[in-house]
Structure formats: structure tokens, C-alpha cells
Amino acid sequence: MYMQANVGSEGANRRAQRAEDVLAMQRAARKDGTRSLLRWLADRTGTRVGLIDAAGAAVPLDPAEDPDGEAAELIRRGLREIASRRLRSMAIDGANHTVLLFPLDAPRGVRAPALAAVAHRPVAAHLPTLLADAASALSLCWQAEHAERLRRRTERAEGRSREAVLHLLMNGHFAAAHQVAGALYLPLPPLIRFYVVQCPPRVREQLSARCTEVAEDAWVVPCPVHVDHILVIASAGTPALEEIFAELTDDCLVGASEELPLRDTATGYAQAFHALAAARNQSVRHARFAGRPDLALAIGPAAATWAKEVLAPLRAHSAKRSQDPDSGELMATAVSWLTFSSQATAHLKIHRNTLSARLKHIAELLDLNLDRLADQSLLALALRADGIPCDNRDAGTTRSLDDLLLRPAAVAWAHQQLHPIRTRPFADELDRTLTTYLSNDGRLGPTAAMLSISATATRKRLARIEALLERSLLRSPSARYDLWLAQRALTLAEGG
């Protein structure tokens, strides 16, 4: 009777210990998933444990404990046996070690790893049962983590596809953009409004998700260039979203473009970016682009004729080697660099040395000095005017940029651009600051030195000019090209 009672007591103790172990496994799994559970299991059993793939790599084996590689060979043999015989568990003995293997459960078509334990002989009697219980808990943890990895991979793939559509639209490849958008079952609207949402980088991921929730049919893309920007392309038929976005968090600003055709996506981005500069001075933290005519459109077909002549060497370029950029890539590089400056590397996904080489090639083809703001402004206008229908009757009358800027439409446009500055108090000081900044090719240091003030004071004046013009100056995309062209047009008109 005493022996039976003793055996019964030992069985009850084993069952109680097993229940405690299972509860401890659950607590460890809730803490940090498979990693925490494996750590607990190693401490509980005093063995080397880990999840291994079909190749048998992952269990951290100390060379001092396995000098002859016996344990590693046992693992490989055990995995082969499990695969060939479709076993649910395997224990295989060597001279010094015993390896226990338990394949984890997985959905159909998914190859899950196996739980492996390397123990010194002899093996404790409770170890197989403990490992079997752990394998069951690890299966659930691994499947949840695998599903989360797949979800993140899908999100990344969709995010990259959305970014690809944005790149295609910005570079004028509308047919390809429609194809990719169709594959994502999210068609592109014919009329759009572009939004730029600025927020602290630490909250951009969460804010992107919230923007997607409130604008389900819009294209929401974290900006590939500015880490604190979210780009949103919404249908023009959707109610204005800038106020809704601004209310999502207290530390964000929103700029919105005008309603534009989809083919003018690049223009919409520039407008929203400039509206963002205006939003910094608004208590409501959002602003819409204050529409002003574009110089290329103000001049009309003559600008297109001139642009065709300016860009002819670039369009005629053909790559000598397969790895060299063709004319289309060089055009896209020029547009990106004029828009984003040195951050075009992030937009184009190229190295800075590649960007420098392409810009040097563009400058040589067009006979321009792209270190000068004057030549940058010329190229920016040519690229904008390139899409306007040509009028060959004007081909003989427009031989240079100055010829274009002397036209009455260009002079009127220039007056309109600079009117917000020249009609304000302290207009002379602001006008002198802007002129100096533009004459120094948009460089802050030389501008401050020429004005005999600090760089901080210069930056504050330029920020004041940004507020008056409702245009970005200090951050790209910048209005400095338009402002240089406007000042040049007025200088020519006044006989300067």
C-alpha cells in the first residue's frame, strides 16, 4: 500500500510540474514569442535548444561541447529521417550526445522549422515530454510570427508599388502608371488634388496608416526623399482633405494643390510643397496653393519652340554602352535634381557619384554650367515648356532666354510673382535680400557675407519672404528658379 501511494504521489507531482511548465511556456510566449520561449526552455532543461531549418543550421553549438561535430551530424541525420519517413518526432543517440527533434506544425504548403535539443547522455526522463509540450507552443508562436512577416512583406511590396506609381507619374510615364495601379486594383483618377503632409519622422508610419483610413481611395505614399513628409494623391471629386489631415495630430502641417489633370502630377506636388510653406504661418496648420500662372504657360507656344531647341542635344543623345543612361534617363535625372537638389539620389535610387556623373553629362550636352542658378533656371523653364504645343511661326523670333523674358506676357508674369514682396513694409530690405540670395546661386553663406549679417538673420529674412510669397525657398522644391526668371525679366524690361 505504501509503495502504491508513493507512486501515485510521484505521478501527481509530475502532472503538477508539467502543468506549471505549460503555464510558464505560455507566459514566456506572450512576452516575446519564440525567442523568449526558447530562452526559457534552455534554462529549464539545461540543454542547447533552437529552431532549425531543413539544412540543419540554427542551434548554437559550442565547439568546446561538440569538438568532433557529432551533435551537428546527428541533427542532419535526424532531419533526413524525419523528412523521408514523415515522423512527428525523432530521438537519435551518439557516443556523447542525444538529439531530440520535433517538427513544428505549419499551414499547408509552408515548411516550418523543427525544435532541436542537444543533450548530454543520459537524457533526463522528463525531457521528451517537456520538449513535446514546448513544440506545441512554439508551433503557435511561429505561425503567428510567420503570418506577421508575410503581412509586413505584403505591406512593403504594396508600398513599393505605390511609390513606383508615384515615380511613373512624376516622370510622365502615365500608361505604365495606369497598368501598375490597375494591378493593385486602385485606379488612378483623371483629376487629382495633391497633398503633402509634414510630420515628425517618428510618427510618419502611424500617420500614413491614419491617412489611408480617412482617405480610402487615395494614394498615400511616404515620401521617398523627405523623411518627414507623406504624399497623398486624391481624386478631385473627394471633399477637401487638408483640414482632416491636419486634425489627425497636433504636430503636422498640410499643403494642398489646385485641382489638376493626372498628367500634371509633378506640378501638383510642387504646388502642395509650396502650400506647405504657407501652412507654417497659418494657425489652422494647413493651406492651399495660391494659384499663379506658370511662366511657360503665360508665354505659350513660343516657349515650347525655344525649349525644343534648348533640349535638342539632350533628346538626340543615345547611350554608347548598355549600362549608360539614355536620353530619357538623363531627362528624368534633370527633372529630379531640379526638384530635389542633392536628395535626388533618394528619389532616383542612385548613388551620389552616379548623380554627379549624369549632371556633368547633361551640362556638357546642353553647354550649361549647372552650378549657376541662371543655368538651372533656364533648364527648369525648358523642361516645363517642353510639353506645350509648338508654334513654328515663332521659331525665328525666339533665339534666347532673354528674348522670351522680354515678351509682355513674361514681364506681366514677373510683376505678379514679386508683387507680394514689393508692396510690403521694408520692401527694399526684403528685395535686396532676395536679389543677393539669387545672385549668389541660392547659397546661404555667401548671401549672409554680402549682406554683412549672420546666416541666422539671413535665414529669418528668407523665411519672411517665403511667408509673403507662399512659396518654399530654403527647401527643395524651391521657387528660386521662378524668382530668378522674374527678376531677370524685370531687369531686362527696365533696360538693365
Model confidence pLDDT, tens digit, residues 301-337: 899 999 999 999 999 988 888 788 899 899 999 999 9
Query: Over the Cα atoms of the chain, what is R_g?
Result: 33
Whether the predicted pLDDT of 6 surpasses 70: no
Average confidence (pLDDT) over 15-40: 89
pLDDT number for residue 496? 62
Query: 436 in the Ramachandran plot: left (φ > 0), alpha (ψ -120 to 50) or beta?
Result: alpha
β-pairing verdict for 253-256 and 286-288: parallel
Cα dihedral across residues 391, 397, 403, 405: positive or negative:
negative
pLDDT number for residue 64? 64
Q: Are 122 and 150 in contact (CB under 8 A)?
A: no
Model confidence pLDDT, tens digit, residues 277-304: 889 888 889 999 877 778 888 888 899 9
Confidence grade of residue 392 (pLDDT, cut at 50, 70, 90): low
Q: Are 213 and 257 in contact (CB under 8 A)?
A: no
Confidence grade of residue 8 (pLDDT, cut at 50, 70, 90): low
Model confidence pLDDT, tens digit, residues 421-473: 888 777 788 889 999 999 999 999 999 999 999 999 999 999 999 888 888 88
Whether the predicted pLDDT of 11 surpasses 70: yes
Q: What is the DSSP string of 462-480?
A: HHHHHHHHTS-SSSSS-TH
DSSP conformational letter for 112 = -
| Rounded Cα distance, 165 and 171, in Å | 10
Residues 6+ apart with CB under 8 A from 155: none
H helix or E strand, kind and range, residue 486: helix 480-493
Q: Which of 252, 218, 251 is nearest to 232 (CA)?
A: 218
pLDDT number for residue 435? 93
In sequence order, the β-bridge partners of residue 288 are 256
- Region of poorest pLDDT, from 234-248, 377-391, 399-413: 377-391
**pTM beyond cutoff 0.95:** no
pLDDT number for residue 422? 83
pLDDT number for residue 58? 54
Neighbours of 75 (CB within 10 A): 26
Q: Look at 191 and 321; give whichever has higher pLDDT.
A: 191
Residues 6+ apart with CB under 8 A from 158: 184
pLDDT number for residue 347? 87
| Rounded Cα distance, 249 and 197, in Å | 11
pLDDT number for residue 338? 93
pLDDT number for residue 367? 94
Domains (range + CATH), the chain? 12-147 (3.30.450.30), 189-288 (3.30.70.270), 292-395 (1.10.10.2840), 406-496 (1.10.10.2840)
| Rounded Cα distance, 48 and 116, in Å | 8
pLDDT number for residue 60? 57
Cell 532549425 sits on residue: 52
Is the peptide bond between 122 and the residue preceding it cis, with omega within 30 degrees of 0? yes
Confidence grade of residue 398 (pLDDT, cut at 50, 70, 90): low
pLDDT number for residue 377? 95
Confidence grade of residue 70 (pLDDT, cut at 50, 70, 90): confident
Cell output for 477: 522644391
Q: Are 93 and 73 in contact (CB under 8 A)?
A: no
Confidence grade of residue 15 (pLDDT, cut at 50, 70, 90): confident
pLDDT number for residue 148? 92
Whether the predicted pLDDT of 219 surpasses 80: yes
pLDDT number for residue 261? 93
Whether the predicted pLDDT of 1 surpasses 60: no
Q: What is the DSSP string of 266-323?
A: HHHHHHHHHHHHHHTT-TTSEEE------HHHHH-HHHHHHHHHHHHHHHT---SSTT
Using a 10 angstrom Cβ sphere, with 0-12 exposed, 13-18 middle and 19 or more buried, the burial of residue 92 is middle
Neighbours of 340 (CB within 10 A): 21
What letter represents residue 64's amino acid?
Answer: A
Cell output for 488: 531677370
| Rounded Cα distance, 221 and 40, in Å | 41
Model confidence pLDDT, tens digit, residues 337-372: 999 998 999 888 899 999 999 999 999 999 999 999
Residues 6+ apart with CB under 8 A from 227: 201, 204
Cell output for 330: 538623363
pLDDT number for residue 59? 58
| Rounded Cα distance, 261 and 268, in Å | 9
H helix or E strand, kind and range, residue 9: helix 2-45
Confidence grade of residue 183 (pLDDT, cut at 50, 70, 90): confident
Confidence grade of residue 171 (pLDDT, cut at 50, 70, 90): confident
In sequence order, the β-bridge partners of residue 196 are 231, 255
Q: Which of 431, 384, 434 is nearest to 404 (CA)?
A: 384
Model confidence pLDDT, tens digit, residues 110-154: 888 999 998 888 888 888 999 999 999 999 999 999 999 999 898
